[in-house]
Structure 1
Amino acid sequence: MNPGGNKRKPPLDPASVLGPTVGGHGPVAIVRDLARELLQQGRITLDEAGRIDGALRDHDWPTVRTYVDLGLARRPVAKAAPDNGAATTPAPGAGPTASAPSREPPAEDQVLIAGLLRMVMRLCDALPKLVLNDRSFVERFAPIRALLTARLTPERLGEAEARIAAVIDQQIEMQRDLEDARSSLKDMLTMVVDRLGSIGNTTARFQQRISGYQEELGGQPDVLVVARVVGGLLADTKLVSEEIEKSQQDLADARRKVESYELRVRSLEHELAQTARMVQNDPLTHALNRRGLEEVFRIEVSRSSRYRVPLTVVMIDLDDFKSINDSLGHAAGDRALVHFVTTAQACLRSTELIARTGGEEFVVVFPATGAADCVDAIRRLQRELERSGFQYEGQSRVMTFSGGAAAWREGESLAQILRRADTAMYEAKNGGKDRVVIAG
């Protein structure tokens, strides 16, 4: 019993803190990945990780920045096994356990720490200004996140920093331009309405003056009264005419400006639509990415159902790709991926689209093609890839791949058909590689 009524706060569960973001590929997911890595390295405590997690959910960017900066400033903790087998728990707020401090991090690690710190500061400063529910904007961070989750080098970190800066700057500029154009358009329309109102007021006053003149002329006016009425009528008529002419000119100018702003708004909206289309392509190989594949599959399934034509999907995995990275370096690996996609696009028909779904994994969609015919096409690609070879800085490598083909079944989702194609592809791998197997 606790007579005071104060309940102790339950201990944090390490598995639930900084867990994966559902459907998250954007800037928040990048910061979450980094904080999770800091927790694993012992640079932040579980309590601090919980604070970061809560701040990310609440979009409390200053708090996120404070604790991530704190973790990056600390050294990783080498976890030593306790003598009596009992786990030690750091006091809240005391920072990571310092029982086994590490040596001064090497120069490359110091460069990485400084770069990560700059990146977090840039993200936390920019996030309050951005529209986080803009799907096209969030998805543009997917390749950046993939870059950061690979083996981190100063070069890769520099590329990630440059990409983040470009995405953020472009999004902020486009949002600002679009809001400025819409605001200017609103101001111009307000002026037009005000001008129309002023014309109505002028003509109303004119009608009142005319009524007054009619009353003066209704009796037995003398010559002086008639002369005064005529003079006033001429002056008022001239004034109304000038007001109407000025209003017409102002309205014509306003119309031209409104048309100009409408064109600007449409242009900016077109740019945003183009940006959304750009996120359907893999930035390295320019093949489709996962989002692009989902869109193509949706269209082709609809066509296949409507016209009762076959649809086949082939899962491809490059054989022994790791050996290229290990022997020639990651830059060579990137070039090899580009070489494969270029060769595939040259061999395939324009309607047969290729998407990159993982490091060295690809999917080819064959509309209106049965499994047997698409296997023939894939084997032609295998022969061409082996014939052309891969050259990098004077060194040559023969590239091969294994494939699994699956014919679409009515009602089958993309995840389901890819699962069958993936099983067939691994069957080809286990059967000796450089083969294609049709899924059952």
Structure 2
Amino acid sequence: MTVDFLSPQPVAVARQTLRRLTESGLPPTPDLYAEHYYLIAGELSGRKLEPLAREPTPGVEVTAAVEAILQILTDTTFGLAVELGTFDGHFQILLNEQNAAPNAFSAEQTRSQIMKTLSLLRQRVADSQADLREAQQLLQRMREDLKENPGLTQNDPLTGVLNRRGIDVVLTREFTRSRRRKDQMSIGLINIDRLAGINDEHGRDAGDQALIHVVTAARGLFRSKDIFARIGDEEFVAVFPGGNAAGATFAVDRLRNVLDRIPLRYNGKTIPVKISAGVAEMHPSDTLSDLLQRAERCLHKAKDSGRNLVVNETDLA
């Protein structure tokens, strides 16, 4: 009798999932952890699984990474419990074979199989203990980091919108969802024109107010399902689920027009706040990097063409 112990173990999948997220520079949030866990489980079992699709979850906290580590702990203990149950059943069969062995040779074969099974069990327990120690160490490091940085989140502390870390999570999930459902999706890269000049002339606080001014206008103009994030000192990204290039261009250009007509009022002064933007639509063969690069090229063209302009990819031809 043989028992298959080679199917993917939750512990092995969990360890590889966390390692892959780390190597990719992605935060181990529950959503990303679940998505990569699912895909890696398929790889280890030899089955090709479609990526999971999820609705975007704005403002995901970095503290949610703790939940991912707790999931590893759960997988470890669950996996060990399953193994022990399997081994228990296997032992019962072997002991019955031992008692019913017709001769010394058969009994020796059964004893040998019992020793192999015991060896596997000891190795499983040792591996599980190592995984638990590793997860506990990760949790401790995360607790220390959060204690030192209690405000460390995936939101920009100045404007309240997602920051680069946060949009990386949400944009990856939204791109995967749109591609799987064959939905449209467009993005706009938006840059405040000459923000450094505002800082130099009116002070850093005025520059901060200019950033808030742009975010306030965007929140008032974009749809509730659209996603807006600050990804640099003066740069934002807008994600338009279900939107094509024409619709996204219209939305971003409307933002540009509103900002053009309504300057920032600061300490009794009127400060013009202008933006340049590049818009690109997701194509069926795109990777996320392809989409972002096209939007970046459009943004550069808008800047090179005099700024205070929105360019989409049809303008690149």
From 235, 239, 245, the counterpart of 1:371: 245
Partner of 1:308: 182
Does 2:283 match 1:403? no
Distance (Å, rounded) in 1 between the aligned partners of 2:154 and 2:206: 24
Partner of 2:191: 317
Partner of 1:296: 170
Question: How many correspondences in the alignment?
Answer: 178
> Aligned letter for 1:424?
C
Matched ranges for 1:393-432 at <5 A = 393-410=267-284, 412-432=286-306
Q: Secondary structure at the match of 2:154?
A: coil
Q: Secondary structure at the match of 1:358?
A: coil
C-alpha contact (below 8 Å) 1:285/1:338 kept by paired residues: yes
Matched ranges for 1:268-287 at <5 A = 279-287=153-161
C-alpha contact (below 8 Å) 2:190/2:299 kept by paired residues: yes
Partner of 1:384: 258
1:303 CA drift (Å): 2.4
C-alpha contact (below 8 Å) 2:175/2:288 kept by paired residues: no
Distance (Å, rounded) in 2 between the aligned partners of 1:337 and 1:417: 25
Q: Secondary structure at the match of 2:307?
A: coil
Q: Which has the larger radius of gyration?
A: 1
* Cα deviation 1:149-205 (Å, max 9, x = unaligned): xxxxxxxxxxxxxxxxxxxxxx9xxx9xxxxxxxxxxxxxxxxxxxxxxxxxxxxxx
Going from structure 1 to structure 2, the CA distance change for 1:351 and 1:278 (only over 3 Å counts) comes to farther
Distance (Å, rounded) in 1 between the aligned partners of 2:287 and 2:181: 18
* Cα deviation 1:52-103 (Å, max 9, x = unaligned): xxxxxxxxxxxxxxxxxxxxxxxxxxxxxxxxxxxxxxxxxxxxxxxxxxxx
* Cα deviation 1:290-345 (Å, max 9, x = unaligned): 12112221222222123322110111111121111011001111111111111111
From 209, 218, 222, the counterpart of 1:348: 222
Does 2:243 match 1:358? no
C-alpha contact (below 8 Å) 1:317/1:402 kept by paired residues: yes
1:135 CA drift (Å): 6.3
- Alignment identity in percent? 37
C-alpha contact (below 8 Å) 1:294/1:414 kept by paired residues: no
C-alpha contact (below 8 Å) 1:284/1:338 kept by paired residues: yes
> Aligned letter for 2:239?
V
* Cα deviation 1:98-122 (Å, max 9, x = unaligned): xxxxxxxxxxxxxxxxxxxxxxxxx
* Cα deviation 1:106-150 (Å, max 9, x = unaligned): xxxxxxxxxxxxxxxxxxxxxxxxxxxx968xxxxxxxxxxxxxx
Q: Secondary structure at the match of 1:369?
A: coil
From 204, 221, 232, the counterpart of 1:330: 204
Going from structure 1 to structure 2, the CA distance change for 1:276 and 1:325 (only over 3 Å counts) comes to closer
1:278 CA drift (Å): 6.7
Q: Secondary structure at the match of 2:160?
A: coil
Structure showing greater relative contact order (alpha-carbon pairs closer than 8 Å, 6 or more residues apart): 2
Q: Secondary structure at the match of 2:249?
A: helix
Matched ranges for 1:115-126 at <5 A = none
C-alpha contact (below 8 Å) 1:313/1:365 kept by paired residues: yes
Distance (Å, rounded) in 2 between the aligned partners of 1:302 and 1:428: 28
Distance (Å, rounded) in 2 between the aligned partners of 1:300 and 1:356: 17
Structure 1, unaligned runs of 5 or more: 1-21, 26-133, 137-170, 176-268
Distance (Å, rounded) in 1 between the aligned partners of 2:274 and 2:284: 32
> Aligned letter for 2:306?
G
Using the size of structure 1 for normalisation, the TM-score is: 0.37
Going from structure 1 to structure 2, the CA distance change for 1:278 and 1:382 (only over 3 Å counts) comes to same
1:351 CA drift (Å): 0.8
Alpha-carbon RMSD across the aligned residues, in angstroms, is: 3.2
Distance (Å, rounded) in 1 between the aligned partners of 2:222 and 2:151: 22
* Cα deviation 1:184-241 (Å, max 9, x = unaligned): xxxxxxxxxxxxxxxxxxxxxxxxxxxxxxxxxxxxxxxxxxxxxxxxxxxxxxxxxx
